[in-house]
Amino acid sequence: MMEKKRLALITTVVAASAVLELLPLKLFFPLLPYLTFDIGEVPIFFLTLYDGITDGAIASIALTVLLFFFGTFVPIGPLLKGAAVISAIIGAWAGIKIKRSPYLSFILSTLLRIIAMTAFNYVLIEYFVPGFLTFLPKYVSFMSPMVAVLVLTALFNILQNIISFIPAYAAWMRFRTS
């Protein structure tokens, strides 16, 4: 059984992430407006750096479950959000464990997030919503629609990881030195 302090910490982080996800602080990614930037991942990144991958993964899964009730584009939106967060925190945690390097941590986090989300988006579009590609804006007509979506989604994930990782890492470093 999980100790009370650890459970309280995870619950607090999930609550903070859920509130941040639900606040109208989202910015649309202008190149693919169905993608939105948010700060809801920051507490989960912090928890992962502070307490480890197990607690970060538990918080990610709990947030994903909550998004099934309060999120958008259910069930696809929450599942993709969960996959993005879990893949990113695995990379962040690995970089810290391997070398204690914020650069390696950020790079691994971003690479794992891009790989995971490229795979999930490819499968989703190819096998579940193939008509989706007809809604792409005209400015991506110089490449195949699938490649355009995957490249633009990768760019979105790089930017979202900057938004999520940097504040969490800065807070973790500040917390460690105080």
Evaluate whether 57 touches 34 at the Cβ level (below 8 Å): no
Please choose, from the candidates 18, 40, 4, the residue with its C-alpha nearest in 3D space to the C-alpha of residue 167: 40
Those residues whose C-beta lies under 8 Å from the C-beta of residue 160, and which sit 6 or more positions away, are 37, 38, 41, 84, 113
Determine the pLDDT at residue 12. Answer: 97
Structure tokens at 168: 């969490």
Instruction: Tell me what the pLDDT averaged over the chain comes to.
Output: 93
pLDDT tier at 176 (50, 70, 90 boundaries)? Answer: confident
Rg (CA), the chain: 17
Query: Rounded to whole angstroms, what are the CA distances from 148 to 21, 31, 72, 132, 152?
Result: 27, 10, 23, 12, 6
pLDDT at 1 over 60: no
Q: How far apart are the first and last CA of the chain?
A: 30
Lowest mean pLDDT among 10-14, 41-45, 127-131: 127-131
Determine the pLDDT at residue 71. Answer: 87
pLDDT at 141 over 80: no
Evaluate whether 24 touches 40 at the Cβ level (below 8 Å): no
Determine the pLDDT at residue 137. Answer: 61
- Tokens 């947030």 sit on residue: 63
Alpha-carbon gap, residue 106 to 85, rounded angstroms:
13
Would you call 93 helix, strand, or coil by DSSP?
helix
Determine the pLDDT at residue 143. Answer: 78
Residue-range domains of the chain with CATH:
4-26+41-177 (1.10.1760.20)
pLDDT at 134 over 80: no
pTM of the predicted model, to two decimals?
0.93
